[in-house]
Chains A and B, each alone.
Chain A
Amino acid sequence: MSAFADRPDRFKGYRGAALEVLERFQVGVWSQVRVVSTRGRFEGLILPRQESADASHVVLKMITGYNVGVEVSGITEMVEVGYREAHYKIPEQDFPYAEGKPNVTLLGTGGTIASRLDYRTGAVIPAFSPGELYGSVPELADTCNLTTKKLYGVFSENIGPDHWIGLAKAIGEEIERGVDGIVIGHGTDTMAHTAAVLSFMVQDSPVPIVLVGSQRSSDRPSSDAALNLIHATKTAGTSDMAEVMVCMFGPTSDQYGLLHRGTRVRKMHSSYRSTFRTVSDIPLAMVDRHLVTPLREDYKRRRTDKNVTIDAVFDDRVSIVYYYPSMKPDVIDSLIQAGYRGIVIAGTGLGHVNKGLYPALQRAKEAGVHVFMTVQTLWGHVQMNVYETGRDMQALGVIPGANLLPEVAFAKLGWVLAHTDDPDEVRRMMLTPIAGEITEREPFDGYMILQGGLPEVEEFNLKHMF
């Protein structure tokens, strides 16, 4: 047993009264202790404390594996009877290389494809090296030779323009290196945003670029992470779809994934596995462990050249305004005053806001702020000629954004404004589709939200895995 004072981090996470008690009894993290307290007797291994937790409990791991918190003010005795430091390690094995298998690079941004727990925060820490991944998802080696590059270690909500630019450049380098496909591990919250931005920054890729993540973290036996990763590497390595795509669960069942075009996809449920949906269109393909099955023909094909266009620029002075009844003009004015160059409005219905905003829209036009209209219904086109309101707003410089999804319009406007500030050029670039962000035709089945409870839907549910 090492001298108590020499143990590193021996009070990890403890403060206040709890820290005092540990110091008083000369015990610390990883001490096996017997505790006598006014609430009774307890025995276990002292664990590090989450930093956000209170200062009045000590956490013990008992022999059964359970953790309990013991209230410190009642502790009258605490004796160390052993010391056992935990070493957490994901089994790491060399990722096998096989001649003839496609070479795939996995770029990491901080998602939780494979992970471990952090004691102090309770957070899940990603494991990422090919060896670690192979240790937890050995099936990956059946599909491809995997290389990994950790670009960032951030949660998806903290991803921003700098990360997008870095990602686009990294993609360019990988294509230059001659990889057969690229997978990007990404948190799901902003995966669709990143997919949209990359669709503009990386044009004419010769290989698939697949964003993947998980809705249930990989520290859980039921996680969707492994299957998503298998689907994504399958797609990146073998499919002939050379586009920026999102690859996530189709149904909530462990059955198949869907490939969604990066500019038409959206996260539609806060927690479901099958959260990603193609909006106003049908997905590109289905993918399972064995096969990628295209659902349509109009995708860009894989090529053997390396002629990709990397155009990694972004002006972050762009905002989305989600309209609500009675919105005051000061919402728009504050953006103008703060120096924003572009505003995407998510309007009601076909693309409307109340008359009260008109003066502010006029001021935006005068200030040279580019304003685009999208719809908060998400499905369907903006149509600002049907009602007078729409025509009035166009006169005030608001440009109908066709069927750009609000987040996609935001992504594109930020990218466009990094190229030009000329109103006509901005309008032209915004309304000229680059990667399917605007579609001319909306298929009838591009809008399918089946309502549970209907007899025909009940019947469908019984026939197919949900």
Chain B
Amino acid sequence: MRPEDYARLGLRSGLEVHQQLNTERKLFCRCPAHVYTNAYHAEVLRHMRPTLSELGEYDGTALMEFKTRKNIIYRIHRSNVCTYELDDAPPFEMNDQALEYAVEISLSLGLSIVGEVHVARKQYLDGSIPTGFQRTAIIGVNGEVPYKGRKIGIQQLSIEEDSCREVSDVGHLRIYNTSRLSVPLIEIVTLPDMRTPTEVAEVAHALRKVTRGTGRARKGIGAARQDVNVSVTGGTRIEIKGVHRIPLIPRLVHYEALRQKALLDIRDRLAAQGRTLDGFAPRVVDLSALAGPVSFSPIQQGMARGGVLHGVVLPGFSEALNTLVGPDRPFAQELADQVRVVACLDKLPNLIHHPSPSPELATATWTRLRTAASAGQDDALVLVWGPAMDVETAAGEIIDRARQAFRGVPQETRQARSNGTTGFERVLPGAERMYPDTDLPPIVIPAARADAAAARIPPPAWEQERRFAAEGMKPHQSEALVMEGRYPVVAEALQVQGVSGAMVAEVLLERSRQARRAGVDLTTLGHEDWLELLGRLGDGRLAREAVPELLPRLASAPAGGRTELLDAAGPPALTMIKAAVAEALRERPRSADPEARRLFWMGRAMHRLRHRAPGRQVAEIIQDRLIAVEEA
């Protein structure tokens, strides 16, 4: 599809970018922030109940989650969780380092910093946070980032505690790993300013560069993820949650736009057939007595476990349920999704329907069931089976989802699938799920503090890239250095006489990558170490050729011993180089090709000099000697 096609659909998309902060400790307790393990010492069982918001309303999501009646298990490990994360102790004061980082990133996005930070509780009844809410607070509002000659609006940046990682979710049991629980996280919310699927991915990438460019973001698996909001004209804002890979975004946005369009078409078709929500009278019929001869193993298995079989008659839905809302996804699949999530019937298939282009049951069986359920010509019959309580919930959800079809696109959050399609996750939570945290007083951010942070932060990512390019770096090098948050070192090194952009990129990128690949831990080297190394390269006290061999030794040396190592790695005196070249030239290369012979002698000489001499200088001396020999 071309941009104009998306424009015709009225596609609008926005992003919520989540990024972990590279702090030492968690947000509201003193646990270490980035200790990840699958091991655990104990398990805690909890249930979640909906509560009222500050404005006295129950949140729709909360009620839905309550219906699911999940047993939630938290696996806890002594190394990374304390009584706070388990909701057995009140919060400590907010981690000031995390607050500082969040202010810095807010300023990088041009946001207005709030005067007073108010911690709110945002309800999450899926159990992903043991308290049942996420502590979260706005740090900045109303900013923008440049994108291809226009501006993408940033609505807000909040700081919040990360949630648990789901281990499994089967039936009424959901298990969580608590390692990342309460790790400081920022959420950046854009306005719905993107108009094509590609734009969304590009802006996501640009925002990731901004956060990483501050040097305050954590890198690595799981450190960043985004929610993608999509709507089309006549549709509604759908939130696609937890997208880890940016390259998946265009397909997700594309399919979601088409899904909304398909749902709107279903709505219009129903209306055209004279069907209205008011006139819609679905029925639930207990068909358990007829289940015996139904030869469909999922149903037989469900009945064998003491389950029931219910039929839900959806008048006028015979066509609608078969309408495709995505690749190979008939509308009936949307019902199945909701049943799986809310009624915990997660053995698939969890429902079948009739009429269908590929009926699972024999026509005679369907006829018998339809007659028993008094399903008319245009009616769809949906069968759902399993434990009685779950089937009751399921029937309610099927009817609920069918009702929504008269309105078009229901408000919900959806899970991303790896093929770019999405599945129902939960009802879209509203502002009603927010209420103030009574455990923590507001935190004042005085103007002086915000100003000091503004003076300290590196320029925004796009500005960093511009400056790096001006120093002769290639675009991929500039971008990589931004993503690694290396601006402070790069900018300071480039001030030193003789240090070039190429030199910096070579050391900080290629050479560092090589060393890391060889298993060297470079995190031991600080800002000053890198500056010293680059400075010596700039003024010739160190040859570029010496870096690969030097870097691992430098990284493992005690901080006090690094100068000595650097001194020893410096280029030898000219007489030493000449002597080494003379010795190299005494060796006989096998090749007769002049260029190959030169490379051979070059290699031997560099080896004798332990790569400490500048290659160009060695090459020149070899050249001089060869000419001298020829002339003689």
Residues of the B chain whose Cβ atoms lie less than 8 Å from the Cβ of A465: 43-45
Q: Min CB distance, B116 to chain A, in Å?
A: 2
- Rounded to whole angstroms, the CA-CA distance of A86 and B122 in the bound complex is 19
Task: Choose among B49, B55, B120 the residue that contacts A221 (Cβ–Cβ < 8 A).
Answer: B49
B43→A66 contact, CB < 8 A: no
Pairwise interchain contact A122-B438, C-beta atoms closer than 8 A: yes
Chain A stretch 21-48: residues in CB contact (< 8 A) with chain B: 37-42
A68 contacts which chain B residues (CB < 8 A)? 114-118, 138, 141
Asked if A67 and B88 sit within 8 Å, CB to CB, the answer is no
Interface string of B139-165 (1 = CB under 8 A from A): 001100000000000011010000000
Q: How far is the CA of A141 from the CA of B87 in the complex (A)?
A: 28
A466 at the binding interface (Cβ < 8 Å):
yes
Chain A residues lying within 8 Å of B116, measured Cβ to Cβ, are: 57, 59, 68-71
Partner of B131, one of A86, A221, A255, A466: A221
Contacting residues, chain A, for B130 (C-beta < 8 A)? 222
Q: State the Cβ distance, A133 to closest chain B Cβ, in Å.
A: 13
Contact A74 B117 (CB under 8 A): no
Contact count A vs B, C-beta below 8 Å: 180
CA distance A251 to B226 in the complex (A): 37
Shortest C-beta distance, A37 to chain B (Å), equals 8
Determine which of B47, B86, B118, B131 lies in contact with A66 in the assembled complex, contact meaning CB atoms within 8 Å: B118
Most buried by A among B88, B123, B131: B88
A317 to B214 CA separation, bound complex (whole angstroms):
64
Q: Give Cα distance in the complex from A431 to B130, angstroms.
A: 46
- State in angstroms the CA–CA spacing of A59 and B115 once bound together: 10
Choose the segment among A88-96, A372-380, A405-413 that binds chain B (4+ C-beta atoms closer than 8 Å).
Answer: A88-96
Residue of B nearest to A274 (CB): B88
Check A53–B136 contact: CB distance below 8 A: no
- A218 at the B interface (CB under 8 A): yes
Contacts of A38 in B (CB 8 A): 447
In the bound complex, CA of A250 to CA of B478 (Å): 58
Interface residues on B, range: 35 or more
**Chain A residues, Cβ within 8 Å of B54:** 61, 86, 88, 117, 119
B113: Cβ under 8 A from any A Cβ: yes
The distance in angstroms between the C-alpha atoms of A91 and B57, with both chains bound, is 9
Mask, A45-68, CB within 8 Å of B = 1, is 000000001101101011111111
Q: Chain B contacts of A217 at CB under 8 A?
A: 438
Residue A264 is within 8 A (CB to CB) of chain B in the complex: no
A188, B526: Cα distance in complex, Å: 51
Assess A74 versus B447: contact at CB under 8 Å? Given A68-B114, A221-B125, A462-B41: yes
Please indicate the chain A residues that have their CB under 8 angstroms from the CB of B137 in the complex. 66
Q: Which of A40, A53, A61, A255 contacts B111 (CB 8 A)?
A: A40
Contact between B112 and A42 (Cβ–Cβ < 8 Å)? yes
Could you tell me the distance between the alpha carbons of A462 and B75 in the complex, rounded to whole angstroms? 10
- B41-89: which have CB < 8 Å to A? 41-56, 58, 62, 76, 78, 83, 86-89
Residues of B within 8 A of A222 (CB): 46, 48, 87, 130-132
Q: Does chain B have a CB within 8 A of A324? A: no
Contacting pair A41 B431 (CB below 8 A): no
Against B, the Cβ 8 Å flags (1 = close, 0 = not) of A207-248 are: 000000001111111110011000000000000000000000
A269 to B125, CA, bound (A): 26
B62 neighbours in A (Cβ, 8 Å): 221
B450 within 8 A of A: yes
CB pair A271 B447 closer than 8 Å? no
A351 CA to B137 CA, complexed, in Å:
51
Q: Are A54 and B88 in contact (CB under 8 A)?
A: no
- A303 lies within 8 A of chain B by Cβ: no
Decide yes or no whether A272 CB sits under 8 A from chain B: yes
Report B122 CB to chain A, min CB distance, Å.
Answer: 8
Q: How far is the CA of A219 from the CA of B436 in the complex (A)?
A: 11
User: CA A64 – CA B45 in complex, angstroms?
Assistant: 31
**CB-based contact B45/A255 at 8 Å:** yes
Are B156 and A66 in contact (CB-based, < 8 A)?
yes
Select one of B48, B90, B115 contacting A71, CB under 8 A. Answer: B115
The verdict on A66 contacting B444 (CB below 8 Å), with A89-B56, A122-B436 known, is: no
- Shortest distance in angstroms between B579's beta carbon and chain A's nearest beta carbon? 64
State which of A69, A88, A123, A223 has its C-beta within 8 Å of the C-beta of B442: A69
B444 → chain A, closest Cβ, in Å? Answer: 7
Q: How far is the CB of B51 from chain A (nearest CB, A)?
A: 5
Minimum CB–CB distance for B478 against chain A, Å: 30
Whether the Cβ atoms of B114 and A221 lie closer than 8 Å is no
**Known contacts A71-B115, A253-B45: does B450 contact A39 (CB below 8 Å)?**
yes
Contact in complex: B112, A67 (CB < 8 Å): no
* Interface residue A441 (Cβ < 8 Å from any Cβ of B): no
Bound together, the chains give a CA A54 to CA B43 distance in angstroms of 42
A252 with B86, Cβ < 8 A, contacts A57-B115, A116-B56 known: yes
Closest to B112 in A: A40
Q: When A39-B112, A252-B88 are in contact, do A223 and B51 touch as well, CB less than 8 Å?
A: yes
Contact: A59 with B125, CB < 8 Å? no
Please pick, from A57, A65, A124, A270, the residue contacting B438 in the complex, using a CB distance under 8 A: A124
Q: Is B432 an interface residue (CB 8 A)?
A: yes
Closest-CB distance, A324 to chain B (whole angstroms): 27
Given contacts A71-B116, A88-B52, A221-B131, contact A273 B88 (CB under 8 A): yes
Q: Is the CB of B436 within 8 A of A67?
A: yes
Q: Which residue of B lies closest to A460 (CB)?
A: B42
A39 with B52: in contact, given A458-B41, A466-B76 (CB under 8 Å)? no
B132 CB contact (under 8 Å) in A69, A221, A270, A272: A221
Chain A hits for B432, CB < 8 A: 65
Contact B56 A220 (CB under 8 A): no
The contact of A117 among B87, B122, B155, B435, by CB within 8 Å, is B435
| B542 located at the interface, meaning its Cβ lies under 8 Å from any Cβ of chain A in the complex | no
Interface status of A293 (Cβ within 8 A of chain B): no
Cβ-based interface call for B611 (8 A): no
Nearest chain B CB to A74 CB, angstrom units: 7
Query: Shortest CB–CB separation between residue B427 and chain A, in angstroms?
Result: 15
Asked if B433 lies at the interface with its beta carbon under 8 angstroms from chain A, I say yes
Tell me the complex Cα distance, A269–B89, Å.
10
> Are B112 and A253 closer than 8 Å at their CB atoms?
no
Q: Are B83 and A271 in contact (CB under 8 A)?
A: yes
- On chain A, the residues within 8 Å of B120 by CB distance are 65-67
Q: A343 CA to B565 CA in the complex, in Å? A: 73
Q: Would you call A174 an interface residue if the criterion is a C-beta within 8 Å of the partner chain's C-beta atoms?
A: no
Q: Does A420 contact B (CB under 8 A)?
A: no
Q: Which residue on A lies nearest to B54, using beta carbons?
A: A117
B613 in contact (CB, < 8 A): no
A272 to B131, CA, bound (A): 13
Asked whether any CB of chain A lies closer than 8 Å to the CB of B434, the reply is yes
Is B487 on the interface with A (CB-CB < 8 A)?
Answer: no
Most buried by A among B111, B112, B117, B132: B112
Does B441 lie at the interface of the complex (its beta carbon under 8 Å from any beta carbon of A)? yes
Assess whether A76 is interfacial by the CB under 8 Å rule. Answer: no
Q: A87 at the A/B interface (Cβ < 8 Å)?
A: yes
Tell me if B133 is interfacial: C-beta within 8 Å of chain A: yes
Q: Report chain B residues within 8 Å CB of A215.
A: 88
Q: Flag whether A80 is at the interface (Cβ < 8 A).
A: no
B186-214 interface with A by 8 A CB criterion: 189
* Given A218-B51, A222-B132, A461-B41; 9 other pairs, CB 8 A cutoff: A42-B141, A57-B116, A59-B118, A65-B431, A70-B115, A74-B115, A254-B45, A272-B83, A465-B43
Sampled A-B contacts (17; CB under 8 Å)? A37-B112, A38-B447, A39-B450, A40-B141, A41-B141, A53-B441, A59-B116, A66-B434, A67-B436, A71-B447, A86-B55, A87-B55, A219-B52, A221-B123, A222-B131, A270-B89, A466-B44
